């Protein structure tokens, strides 16, 4: 297969933990040819979606390659996205208008015959915070609003709450407000930009102390291990980017129920790879842009998530 990864700059990869890198390694091991490009390399030109795409050769396989870098990259050339057997979208947020424009171009390419994972319209339709509202049976009490009165009433009802923006990643902007309501007004003003931006409020889930669990779904199947991101002392955010510690664990019975219920639904919508975030058995996010934790799970359990991903991609390719 010819597999092109739409990703952030390769030079910025932290290969000891990067899931896209793990995918590339597994793809190369299985004999596939790897390519890479970035969003700004795409164009709609002469009625076709093209991109300046370059072949990537991992240094372990590149004769005479410089070992200071983990890859060697060829000269980029403009190619139709239909020239590849799979386009794997691994572009990190922020999910801003440039990201939306990227999904529009990918959707046009898809209509022209390109095979894109995850499907661009599905990525666009599933805000990673707000998508949980489609599955209220699995969530803690939640409010989505920009209205200060509603947000204050939610706090009055639940006392201990979390407030967070709808477009953040890595735990950015998440604030806990306890029962005393200290700084509630200023936090609401700050996060809502004085009522002009919609945010999410959730009842605080004390089981965050045991970790914010990342549960991976691949092609409608559930990976049997999660990665519990455990907050450091004094933090309410378990995100690894916020200093959390990742501990791989077998899924709990509750996590498996939720994951197995959502896996076929999300796959049918065109979401090949999904990262569910769960705290205390409650669904808190549905990650669809570039879910991670492949390497941490593999290193701690031996469960080769990248292999599962590539096997599933090959199966879809031949179907």
| Catalytic site residue from 129, 167, 212, 255 | 129
Known active-site residue 229:
yes
The Cα 147–Cα 199 span in angstroms is 9
Q: Is the pTM of this model over 0.75?
A: yes
Q: In which region does residue 195 sit, left (phi positive, over 0), alpha (psi from -120 to 50) or beta (all else)? A: left
Known active-site residue 148:
no
Give the pLDDT band (50/70/90) at residue 61.
low
Q: Are 282 and 140 in contact (CB under 8 A)?
A: yes
Contacts 24+ apart (CB under 8 A), 181-190: 181/155, 184/151, 184/152, 184/155, 185/148, 187/163, 188/148, 188/151, 188/152, 188/163, 189/148
Instruction: Please tell me the predicted confidence (pLDDT) of residue 66.
Output: 44
Known active-site residue 45:
no
Instruction: Please tell me the predicted confidence (pLDDT) of residue 67.
Output: 43
Q: What is the largest CA-CA distance in the chain?
A: 65
Assess whether pLDDT exceeds 90 at residue 318: no
Known active-site residue 287:
yes
CB contact set of 281 (below 8 Å; sequence gap of 6+)? 207, 252, 254, 255, 258
Instruction: Please tell me the predicted confidence (pLDDT) of residue 244.
Output: 82
Give the pLDDT band (50/70/90) at residue 271.
very high
Q: Mean of the per-residue pLDDT values for the chain?
A: 94
Known active-site residue 214:
yes
| Catalytic site residue from 229, 239, 255, 296 | 229
DSSP characters over 271-319: -SEEEEEEETTEEEEEE-SS---HHHHHHHH---HHHHHHHHHHHHHH-
| Residue 74 host element (H or E) | none
CB contact set of 162 (below 8 Å; sequence gap of 6+)? 174, 175, 176, 177, 201, 202, 203, 204, 236
The Cα 109–Cα 42 span in angstroms is 11
Known active-site residue 72:
no
Instruction: Please tell me the predicted confidence (pLDDT) of residue 282.
Output: 98
């Amino acid at each position: 297969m010819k597999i092109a990864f739409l990703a952030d700059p390769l030079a910025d990869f932290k290969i000891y933990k990067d899931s896209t890198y793990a995918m590339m390694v597994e793809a190369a091991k299985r004999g596939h040819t790897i390519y890479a490009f970035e969003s700004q390399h795409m164009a709609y030109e002469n009625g076709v979606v093209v991109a300046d795409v370059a072949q990537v050769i991992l240094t372990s396989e590149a004769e005479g390659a410089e070992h200071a870098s983990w890859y060697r990259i060829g000269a980029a050339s403009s190619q139709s996205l239909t020239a590849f057997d799979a386009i794997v979208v691994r572009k990190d947020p922020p999910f801003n208008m440039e990201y939306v424009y990227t999904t529009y171009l990918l959707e046009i390419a898809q209509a022209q015959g390109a095979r894109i994972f995850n499907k661009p319209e599905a990525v666009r339709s599933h805000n990673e915070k707000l998508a949980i509202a489609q599955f209220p049976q699995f969530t803690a009490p939640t409010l989505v609003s920009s209205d200060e009165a509603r947000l204050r009433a939610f706090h009055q009802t639940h006392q201990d709450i979390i407030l967070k923006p709808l477009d953040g990643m890595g735990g950015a902007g998440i604030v806990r407000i306890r029962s005393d309501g200290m700084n509630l007004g200023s936090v609401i003003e700050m996060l809502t930009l004085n009522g002009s931006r919609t945010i999410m409020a959730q009842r605080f889930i004390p089981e965050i102390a045991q970790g914010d669990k990342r549960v991976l779904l691949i092609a409608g199947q559930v990976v049997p291990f999660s990665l519990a991101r455990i907050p450091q002392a004094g933090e309410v955010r378990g995100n690894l980017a916020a200093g959390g510690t990742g501990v791989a664990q077998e899924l709990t019975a509750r996590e498996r129920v939720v994951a197995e219920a959502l896996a076929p639904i999300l796959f049918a919508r065109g979401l090949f790879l999904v990262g569910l975030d769960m705290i205390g058995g409650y669904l808190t996010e549905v990650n669809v842009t570039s879910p991670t934790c492949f390497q941490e799970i593999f290193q701690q359990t031996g469960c080769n998530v990248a292999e599962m991903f590539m096997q599933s991609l090959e199966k879809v390719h031949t179907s």
